[in-house]
Structure 1
Amino acid sequence: MKFHGVLFFPVTPFAADGSLDEGRLAQHIEAGVAAGAGGVFVACGTGEFHALTSDEIERATRVAVKATAGRVPVLAAAGGPTPVARDQAARVEQAGADGILLLPPYLVSAPQQGLVRYVEEVTAATRLPVVFYQRGTARLTDSTAAELAALPNVVGLKDGIGDIERMHRIVRAVRAVPGGADFQFFNGLPTAEMTAPAYRGVGVDLYSSAVFAFAPEIALAFHTALTEGDETLVNTLLDEFYGPLVALRDEVPGYSVSLVKAGVTLRGLDVGGVRAPLLDPTPEHVARLAKLLEHGLEVIAA
């Protein structure tokens, strides 16, 4: 399973009564695939994994598999307590997913061999390829990353920490082991475009784009400019769209998800609000997001 291009992390739409809205999720995913997504990661961070039941994750996965119809890979999330993660992994496999994004154990700090044990026990519950998400308290050393990469169905590592030196050492260590050349690395920081140039410098070209969920035109234009070396457009979008977006995002914890959902609604698909403990953006913040979105579209049109 190889990824290319912009990776799409859809939001999870909720109906007026707070339930999972499968119809709008299908519309959202279909639009993203039609726009040119290189892969769909459903019910993950942007999709409010933290607030979904295992049943909802399974249902969302089935929707994504049907909507993509084999055009691009579909990965779904599993994570948290080991028994829960194992159950979720089995469920998304049954739902037809092509792979799993394995989030870290919940809350606890663990020694390196404990993290290895966690990945071993969860991956034993599925035959699907797994991408491990390094974030929170799950911080790998280069030797641990190489050990995980040697596990039979661990195919990738997504970084949500942002320590470039650590990632450089991890990439070098994994690439040095047999089969390491095919292992895939992902930049998983919020609004990853802001750090994409730096990650490319240490050999991490793939990244998750939350912006793609509500402005695929901007996300694709940035990716093309970055890939083709168009520094003028890259810098213009970083200065005039992504930078201000990050500044707005950082005003309220959780806006890395809430603003994306508001953006999808601004573009014409009402996906509802966010579940607790997140909060929906204020009207003022939504208005600022709308202006940023308008300007970003103007930049790429020019």
Structure 2
Amino acid sequence: MFTGSIVAIVTPFRNGKVDERALGDLIEFQIVNGTAGIVPCGTTGESATLSHEEHDRVVALTVEVVKRRVPVIAGTGSNSTDEAIALTKHAKQAGADGALLITPYYNKPTQEGLFRHYKAVAEAVDLPLVLYNIPGRTGVNLLPVTVSRLTACSNIVGIKEGSGSVQQTSDIVQMCGERITVLSGDDPLTLPIMALGGKGVITVTANLLPKDMSAMAAAALANRWDEARRLHYKLSPLFAALFLETNPIPVKEALGLMGKIDPELRLPLCPLLPDNRDRLTRVLKDYGLI
């Protein structure tokens, strides 16, 4: 259902508020350049520091601007199951095509708790759901056997796999087969994950280079591996630069240097260190982005 290069879009701020005009312009930039889908209010969208009102507005605005041209997969995860259900219900009401749900963070549920959490959301909201596993941020790893159990829920259609383990991704593909779509949650691992049977990526890099990320994913889906590999190596310096510090600090700085947004962040995130800003600037110049 959801394949190709899907952008985890930033939430631009100006003077402490969501910059709706800039967000609309970013969405248009994505669609014109071939992005296969938009994810608002993910980690890259600083969902953790959006108020509930802002979160709902960003999802609704994204749906309004996209106008069904590509799927909108709203970030609706929480470490409270009731809150995740409420956010997912709003996404459905707003017209989103799906929801992305991060594993509950900080409270460290067991695998049984993770299973019950996702099952509860799936039963409460009739909307296609994408699981999101990123243990480096959440402190809990959604194991392949639990993913396999969750495929019994007909509206759990995908997983954004960000464990950083190619073996874990391989196990998910092997255990689940066509019952779930595996998407990379780590830009540098997109190509190897797609070689194992993944169908795309939910990507940070596409904020800057939607055309190249889309081309790489499309080439891999079409088994044009030489082309996909060439694009992977072309993009590799940018993959590294965008994670010099915690995402989305570098990508917002890059978009600011490109003149697309004010690179404003919300505490506890703060601007790039000067040395890292210099390194990022060099990569952007080498790529011809600035």
Tell me the TM-score normalised to structure 1 length.
Answer: 0.86
Residue 23 of structure 1: aligned partner: 21
8 A contact 1:226–1:234 mirrored in 2? no
Residue 237, structure 1, aligned to residue 239, structure 2: no
- Listed as ranges, the matches of 1:162-173 within 5 Å are 162-173=164-175
Residue 125 of structure 1: aligned partner: 124
8 A contact 1:159–1:187 mirrored in 2? yes
Structure 1 position 90, deviation (Å): 1.3
User: Structure 1 residues 225, 295: CA separation in 2 closer, same or farther (over 3 Å shift)?
Assistant: farther
Aligned equivalents of 1:201, 1:35: Cα separation in 2: 24
User: Structure 1 residues 140, 235: CA separation in 2 closer, same or farther (over 3 Å shift)?
Assistant: closer
Residue 148 of structure 1: aligned partner: 150
Residue 187, structure 1, aligned to residue 184, structure 2: yes
Residue 61 of structure 1: aligned partner: 59
Residue 115, structure 1, aligned to residue 111, structure 2: no
Aligned equivalents of 2:239, 2:172: Cα separation in 1: 28
User: Structure 1 residues 294, 69: CA separation in 2 closer, same or farther (over 3 Å shift)?
Assistant: same
Give secondary structure in 2 for the equivalent of 1:124. helix
Structure 1 position 48, deviation (Å): 0.8
* AA aligned opposite 1:172: Q
User: Structure 1 residues 93, 243: CA separation in 2 closer, same or farther (over 3 Å shift)?
Assistant: closer
User: Structure 1 residues 114, 73: CA separation in 2 closer, same or farther (over 3 Å shift)?
Assistant: same
* AA aligned opposite 2:165: D
- How many residue pairs get aligned? The number is 282
8 A contact 2:74–2:99 mirrored in 1? yes
2:45 to 30, 44, 47: 47
User: Structure 1 residues 38, 75: CA separation in 2 closer, same or farther (over 3 Å shift)?
Assistant: same
Residue 273, structure 1, aligned to residue 273, structure 2: no
Q: Deviations over 1:30-65 (max 9, x none)?
A: 111111110001111111111112221110111111
Give secondary structure in 1 for the equivalent of 2:248. helix
Structure 1 position 15, deviation (Å): 1.4
Residue 178 of structure 1: aligned partner: none
Residue 210 of structure 1: aligned partner: 204
8 A contact 1:43–1:49 mirrored in 2? yes
User: Structure 1 residues 235, 186: CA separation in 2 closer, same or farther (over 3 Å shift)?
Assistant: closer
User: Structure 1 residues 127, 274: CA separation in 2 closer, same or farther (over 3 Å shift)?
Assistant: same
Give secondary structure in 2 for the equivalent of 1:6. strand
Q: Deviations over 1:232-252 (max 9, x none)?
A: 72464155x236526xx33x3
Structure 1 position 101, deviation (Å): 0.1
Give secondary structure in 1 for the equivalent of 2:12. coil
Q: Which segment drifts farther, 123-132 or 65-74?
A: 123-132
8 A contact 1:133–1:160 mirrored in 2? yes
Q: Deviations over 1:88-133 (max 9, x none)?
A: 1111112111110011112122221111111122223321110011
Structure 1 position 222, deviation (Å): 4.1
Give secondary structure in 2 for the equivalent of 1:292. helix
Aligned equivalents of 2:263, 2:208: Cα separation in 1: 14
Give secondary structure in 2 for the equivalent of 1:29. helix
8 A contact 2:162–2:184 mirrored in 1? yes
Q: Deviations over 1:124-155 (max 9, x none)?
A: 33211100111223423332111111113111
Residue 277 of structure 2: aligned partner: 286
8 A contact 1:57–1:92 mirrored in 2? no
Give secondary structure in 2 for the equivalent of 1:230. helix
Give secondary structure in 2 for the equivalent of 1:195. helix
Give secondary structure in 1 for the equivalent of 2:163. coil
Aligned equivalents of 1:238, 1:14: Cα separation in 2: 27
User: Identity of paired residues, percent?
Assistant: 28
Output the aligned Cα RMSD: 2.1
Give secondary structure in 1 for the equivalent of 2:17. coil
User: Structure 1 residues 296, 221: CA separation in 2 closer, same or farther (over 3 Å shift)?
Assistant: farther
